[in-house]
Amino acid sequence: MTALALKKPPPMDVASASNDPRATDTPITQRRIGDVVLDVQNISLSFGGVKALTDISFDVREHEVRAIIGPNGAGKSSMLNCINGVYRPQQGSITFRGKTFKHMNSRQVAEMGVARTFQNLALFKGMSVLDNIMTGRNLRMKSNLLLQALRIGPAEREEIRNREFVERIIDFLEIQAHRKTPVGRLPYGLQKRVDLGRALAMEPKVLLLDEPMAGMNVEEKQDMCRFILDVNDEFGTTIVLIEHDMGVVMDISDRVVVLDYGKKIGDGSPDEVRRNPEVIKAYLGTSH
């Protein structure tokens, strides 16, 4: 794979595009950043005496790539777990598509179209890639257990429909060669891709990615970046990602929230964040 486009597509060449009559013939949908879909207000979370998050507020707009960054222990994963309904914050509210919740449970969140991947992969190691991604379709299966077990009537049609969707994801993530391979036998970078595939199988509106690039080599990181941008681009999925690798974050996100010791210390475009003195002090200034 050469010429991996890490950066967003080149800006529109206005002069040449308008000179060429053909350019207007081809329908090109532009990636538009829309209204706020997810609004996090004054979230505080503590475990006993340990304050994991203190009064965090930020929003996520439709179709954007939103990054949450911060040093180790800054509270990034805790934040994601609050949105995801795994943790119950003591204070604050989360507004998702106009509905406000004190806290949500995981199933509700999933049904509303929020999917996630995990930092330490939570795949079924003994199952094939195909079956793992199929589990992501669980919420879309309407027929009951008996019909599914006997493969009769609507169950079979449903199975075919879902399998087709999963095959599109396999094609999208370029893992055709591993379709039938048990996940446990795949290298780490590919397992991460399968994890992403399973989240995509839910057809999420919002995708939460917990350190999608952790532990990868440079080439795997580039591949993953391309997949994240392509998901955002092709399906219009809103993406919230936690990441350690600053280079990656600055390249692919539209806006960045910076956390440090459970507090928000910065919020804005990658350039703004890069210039923010507090951020530099807390995170960027330390070379590593």
Partner 1 sequence: MTTSFPRLLLDHARQRPQASALREKEYGIWQTTTWSQLEQLVRALAAGLHAAGVKRGQHVVVIGENRPRLSASMIAAQVLGAVPVPLYQDAVSAEFVFPINNAEVAFAIAEDQEQVDKLIELREQCPGLARIWYDDPRGLRNYRERGLASLDSLVAEGAALDAAAPSRFIEWVDAVQPQDVAAMFFTSGTTGNPKGVVHTHFTLIDRAQAGAKFDRLTGDEEVLAYLPQAWIGQNIFSFAQWLACGYVVNCPESADTVSIDLKEIGPTYYFAPPRVFEGLLTSVMIRMEDASAPKRWLFNRFMDVARRIGPARMDRQPLSLGDRLLYALGDLLIYGPLRNTLGFSRVRVAYTAGEAIGPDLFAFYRAIGINLKQLYGSTETAVFVCLQPDNEAKSDTVGVPIDGVELKVLDTGEILVRSPGLLKGYYKNDEATAEVLTADGWYRTGDAGFLDAGGHLKIIDRAKDVGRLMGGANDGAMFAPKYVENKLKFFPFIKEAVAFGDKRERVCAFINIDFEAVGNWAERRNLPYAGYTDLAAKPEVIELVRDCVEKVNADLSRDERLAGSQISRFLVLHKELDADDGELTRTRKVRRGAIADKYGVLVDALYGGRTSQYIETQVKFEDGRTGVVSADLPIVDAKTFPALRSAA
Q: Which residues bind partner 1 (CB under 8 A)?
A: 1-3, 5, 8-10, 12-13, 16-17, 19-20, 22-23, 25-26, 28-31, 163-164, 167-168, 170-172, 174, 176-177, 179, 226, 229-230, 233-234
Name residues whose C-beta falls within 8 Å of residue 144's C-beta, 6 or more positions apart in sequence.
Answer: none
Minimum CB distance to partner 1 smaller for 39 or for 233: 233
Give 37 or 231: the residue with its C-beta nearer to partner 1. Answer: 231
DSSP state of 185: G
Give 271's contacts (C-beta < 8 A, 6+ positions apart): none
Nearer to partner 1, 15 or 146 (CB): 15
The nearest distance, CB 193 to partner 1, in angstroms, is 13
Nearer to partner 1 by C-beta: 1 or 145?
Answer: 1
Distance CA 134, CA 39 (A): 30
Q: Can you give the chain as a three-state secondary structure string?
A: CCCCCCCCCCCCCHHHHHHCHHHHCCCCCCCCCCCEEEEEEEEEEEECCEEEEEEEEEEEECCCEEEEECCCCCCHHHHHHHHCCCCCCCEEEEEECCEEECCCCHHHHHHCCEEECCCCCCCCCCCEHHHHHHHCCHHHCCCCHHHHHHCCCHHHHHHHHHHHHHHHHHHHCCCHHHCCCEHHHCCHHHHHHHHHHHHHHCCCCEEEEECCCCCCCHHHHHHHHHHHHHHHHHCCCEEEEECCCHHHHHHHCCEEEEEECCEEEEEECHHHHHHCHHHHHHHHCCCC
- Identify the three-state secondary structure at position 56: strand
Minimum distance from CB of 267 to partner 1 (Å)?
A: 26
Residue among 83 and 248 whose Cβ is closer to partner 1: 248
Token output for 135: 């589990």
By beta-carbon proximity to partner 1, the closer residue of 82 and 170 is 170
In the bound complex, what is the minimum distance in angstroms from residue 20's beta carbon to partner 1? 5
20 or 111: CB nearest partner 1: 20
CB of 69 to partner 1, least distance (A): 25
Nearer to partner 1, 39 or 167 (CB): 167
Rounded to the nearest whole angstrom, what is the least distance from the CB of residue 272 to partner 1 in the complex? 23
